[in-house]
Amino acid sequence: MANLKQIRQRIRTSKNIRQITRAMKLVAAARLKKAQDRVTEARPYSDKMRELMLSLSEAGDLPSHPLLEKQEGDKTCMVLITADRGLAGSYNTNLIRKTSDFLKEHTGIHLYCVGKKGYQFFNRRGVKLTGQYSVPSTGARVEDAQEVTRVVSDLFTSGEYDRILICYSKFYSPIRQVPQIVQVLPIEPPTAEQPAEKRTKKDYTFEPDSTTLLATLLPKYLLNIMFQAMLESTASEHGSRMTAMSSATDNAGKMIDDLTLKANRERQSKITTEILEVVGGAEALNN
């Protein structure tokens, strides 16, 4: 059984941990607010890009483009977006588990890791990795999305891979982030919610021509998908970290209360023992 000195040492340690977790919670909350605002501001643009691609797909057969070409092979590369740091609750674990389950169902898939946690996990397990990229802790920038988009475009257009997937965590709230896997290359036009028999074919006049338009639009559409996924992942990371640090702070407080009660009981027991010894000594002298 721990003595009073050991209990007090554990109380000091728990208070230090609570200070750290409280500070991390405040930092994560501040970063979450910015990341959440960026996600909210980016979604309308993403929706409009999707509507534009949907409208073009309803215009009929589109001209050929390297980002639209479907390959006959099955060589697949997955872009896994995780965090560079831990202490983010189940954020990294859920993404790694989602990817691991997918790799068990589909063999021969290679990974391109955005973030160190996913890279470190799969590198130790012999999974084929095509590269790794680190995003600043403050959040993904447009430059980061451009670099990752350039890499995956080169991997696809060079014929090294026939399909590019992305695994990221979609942000809903600080306590709810859902990992999901979507295909980014070859680009497939979005599907309309309206049944096909009710949709009418639209007649467009392209200016400039449709080939030039696609050559400009498709890379921007791919960049938008990648940037939106990275923004969602950043918000999910900060939300998960804030929730985890909030729970850790509360648990440290409960531990401090329990240890303080235990220390008081131990101190009272020690005082009682000393009093009994004094009384016993006095009675022995009187006798």
pLDDT exceeds 70 at position 200: no
Q: Which residues contact 154 (CB under 8 A, 6 or more apart)?
A: none
pLDDT in tens, 206-223: 777 777 877 888 888 889
Q: How many CB atoms lie within 10 A of CB 253?
A: 15
pLDDT in tens, 230-281: 999 999 999 999 999 999 999 999 999 998 998 888 888 888 887 877 877 7
Domain 25-190+204-243 has CATH 3.40.50.80: no
pLDDT exceeds 90 at position 179: yes
Q: What is the mean pLDDT of residues 74-92?
A: 90
Query: For position 151, what pLDDT does the model report?
Result: 92
Measured CA to CA, the distance from residue 59 to residue 57 in angstroms comes to: 5
Order of strands across the sheet that contains 110-114? 129-133, 110-114, 76-81, 163-173, 176-185
Q: Which residues contact 117 (CB under 8 A, 6 or more apart)?
A: 82, 83, 84, 85, 86, 92, 96
Give the residue, 51 or 141, on which the prediction is more confident. 141
| Domain layout of the chain by residue ranges | 25-190+204-243
Q: Which residues contact 10 (CB under 8 A, 6 or more apart)?
A: 2, 259
pTM (two decimals)? 0.83
